[in-house]
């Protein structure tokens, strides 16, 4: 069997013997890597972390009393920064809460009190879903440490690992790994959307805010005969379901069909009046709202283009932003669909729209396909409405009929006969942003 060192990646048929120890299973020989001299405990920790831990963005690791080989192996992991500290540092609160994704205790301890004294601040210093690795002295000590960690609110220990032998690590080597689960920390319930839900926009120039409640009117709807699109209540609600960003200045933009950022040419109406810019290339026109949003816990912002406002040659893109925690700015982007075509944004024209949505709502939905026989009452009402609509359309073509005089059915505007838990809406009253 070929053995591999997870720290220096050296491969050999056997590793160097460095003595032996007595265990519950009997005496076994200790082996070190012939190239980096790493010990078995260091190889076990580094190999297990490589196999089982996915670090978010820039992961942070804290080692306490860890061997040099272990610190070297962890330091070589991608997208991590390593901090090595003494046990007294963390006990005395030298590290911030939620600071680390992995904490490794690199020595064996024999006093339960010392275990607990360290594990309590370790739990605070770990981020949610962060890992805590401890080296026990033997199987009995591992069971005791696990019991203490579970009592402190850590998760159940990681499952036994089957790859010890590949790294010249005996399967009997004691090893305790637990995880701090986010479910153990009480989370504030996401509030149901109400008129009182706060939505804050932070800016250093409140007087220059160009945000307004989205209006009902659309130019193309106004230009139709009898303005018939306004008879569609769902579209009316969508038109007004949020707030729009308005251009403080007018400009034109043209994409030449290329991939580079300079393939989009922007010409502002005034020298300092450019609103859109080219940031990504590939015909993407980017806008930025100069300020920062903050929503209540569990509430995202759905960010998109102005709803039901088509624009020839360019299409608004959409995104969902976790504005209850994120400190990053976001952009509103449009994608050119026609090369060598010039688009224009007028001063006061909306370039984006946004509205709040509960973050976990979509995952709570349980979609299912039912047969009509599973809910015959609803299906019969659906068929009855279809038949009445066909009758109405036929009668509307005949003069002197009620349908001809009425012109369109108002059933959806009227709403259901029975009272709903959340009232039926025929219009929205979206509040404008106010200065605090």
Same domain as 352, residue 386: no
Q: Strands 59-64 and 80-85: what pairing? A: parallel
What are φ and ψ of residue 90, in 5° steps? Answer: -75, -35
Looking at the structure, tell me whether residues 148 and 60 fall in a common domain: yes
Domain around 90: 3-184
pLDDT of residue 193: 52
Q: Are residues 152 and 48 part of one domain?
A: yes
- d(C-alpha 145, C-alpha 138), whole Å: 10
pLDDT score at 90: 58
Asked if residue 80 has pLDDT above 70, the reply is yes
Please tell me the predicted confidence (pLDDT) of residue 23: 59
For residue 278, list its beta bridge partners: none
| Residues 257 and 117 reside in one and the same domain | no
191 within some domain: no
Question: Span 132-138, mean pLDDT?
Answer: 86
3-state secondary structure of 356: strand
Residue percentage of the chain with pLDDT more than 70: 85
CA dist list (Å): 373 to 380, 384, 388: 10, 16, 21
- Backbone dihedral angles phi then psi of residue 181, each to the nearest 5 degrees: -95, 140
How far from chain centre, in Å, is Cα 33?
41
Other C-beta atoms closer than 10 Å to the C-beta of 74 total 24
Quick one: 248 and 376 in the same domain? no
- Does the model's pTM come out above 0.75? no
**How far, in Å, CA of 354 to CA of 234, rounded?**
17
* Same domain for 350 and 264: yes
83 lies in the same domain as 149 = yes
Supply the DSSP symbol for 93. T
Distance of CA 340 to the CA centre of its chain: 36
Residue 184 has pLDDT above 50, yes or no: no
Instruction: Please state at what angle helix 40-52 crosses helix 68-75, rounded to 10 degrees.
Output: 20
Rounded distance between C-alpha atoms, residue 174 and residue 133, angstroms? 11
Residue 226: pLDDT band (50, 70, 90) is confident
267-290 tens-digit pLDDT: 998 877 668 888 888 999 999 877
DSSP string of 376-407?
A: HHHHHHHHHHHHHHHHHHHHHTSTTSHHHHH-
Residue 307 has pLDDT above 90, yes or no: yes
Residues 28 and 158 in one domain: yes
Task: Report if residue 189 sits inside a domain.
Answer: no
Mean pLDDT of 220-233: 88
Q: Of 327, 346, 364, which closes a domain?
A: 364
Note whether 291 and 145 are same-domain residues: no
Q: Give the model's pLDDT for residue 228.
A: 84
Is 194 inside any structural domain?
no
User: Which CATH number covers residue 10?
Assistant: 3.40.50
Q: How many CB atoms lie within 10 A of CB 258?
A: 13
**pLDDT of 186 higher than 50:** no
The last residue of one of the domains, among 184, 210, 245, is 184
Are 60 and 127 in the same domain?
A: yes
Residue 40: inside a domain, yes or no? yes
pLDDT value at residue 294: 92
Weakest mean pLDDT among 32-36, 182-186, 325-329, 350-354: 182-186
From 252-266, 300-314, 416-430, the region with the lowest mean pLDDT: 416-430
Does 434 lie in the same domain as 357?
no
Same domain assignment for residues 284 and 432: no
**Average pLDDT of the residues of the chain:** 83
Distance between CA atoms of 134 and 157, rounded to whole angstroms? 11
């Amino acid at each position: 069997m070929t053995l591999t060192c997870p720290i220096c990646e050296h491969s050999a048929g056997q590793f160097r013997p460095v003595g032996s120890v007595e265990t519950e299973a009997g005496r076994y020989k200790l082996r070190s890597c012939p190239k980096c001299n790493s010990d078995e405990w260091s190889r076990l920790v580094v190999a297990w972390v490589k196999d089982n831990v996915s670090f978010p963005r820039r992961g942070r690791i804290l080692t306490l009393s860890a061997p040099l080989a272990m610190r070297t192996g962890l330091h070589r992991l991608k997208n991590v920064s390593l901090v090595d500290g003494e046990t007294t540092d963390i006990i005395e609160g030298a590290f911030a809460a939620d600071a680390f994704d992995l904490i490794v205790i690199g020595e064996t301890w024999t006093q339960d009190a010392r275990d607990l004294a360290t594990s309590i601040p370790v739990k605070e210093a770990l981020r949610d879903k962060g890992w805590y690795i401890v080296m026990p002295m033997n199987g009995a000590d591992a069971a005791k440490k696990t019991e203490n960690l579970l009592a402190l609110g850590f998760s159940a220990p990681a499952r036994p690992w089957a790859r010890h032998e590949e790294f010249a690590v005996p399967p009997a080597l004691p090893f305790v790994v637990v995880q701090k689960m986010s479910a153990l920390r009480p989370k504030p319930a996401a509030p149901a959307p109400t008129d009182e839900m706060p939505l804050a926009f932070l800016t250093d120039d409140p007087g220059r805010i160009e945000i307004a409640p989205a209006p009902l009117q659309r130019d193309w709807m106004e230009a139709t005969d009898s303005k018939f699109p306004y008879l569609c209540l769902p579209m009316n609600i969508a038109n007004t379901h949020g707030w729009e960003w308005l251009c403080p200045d007018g400009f034109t933009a043209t994409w030449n069909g290329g991939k580079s950022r300079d393939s989009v040419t922007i010409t502002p109406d005034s020298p300092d009046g450019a609103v859109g810019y080219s940031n990504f290339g590939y015909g993407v026109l980017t806008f930025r709202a100069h300020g920062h949003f903050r929503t209540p816990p569990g509430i995202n912002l759905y960010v998109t283009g102005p709803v039901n406002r088509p624009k020839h040659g360019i299409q608004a893109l959409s995104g969902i932003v976790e504005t209850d925690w994120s400190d990053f700015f976001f952009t509103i982007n449009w994608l050119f669909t026609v090369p060598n075509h010039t688009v224009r944004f007028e001063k006061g024209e909306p370039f984006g729209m946004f509205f709040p949505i509960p973050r976990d709502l979509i995952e709570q939905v349980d979609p299912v396909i039912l047969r009509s026989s599973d809910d015959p009452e609803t299906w019969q009402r659906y068929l009855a409405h279809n038949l009445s609509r066909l009758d109405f359309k036929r009668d509307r073509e005949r003069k002197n009929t009620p349908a001809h005089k009425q012109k369109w059915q108002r059933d959806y505007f009227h709403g259901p006969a029975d009272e709903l838990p959340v009232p039926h809406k025929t219009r929205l009253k979206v509040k404008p942003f106010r200065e605090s």
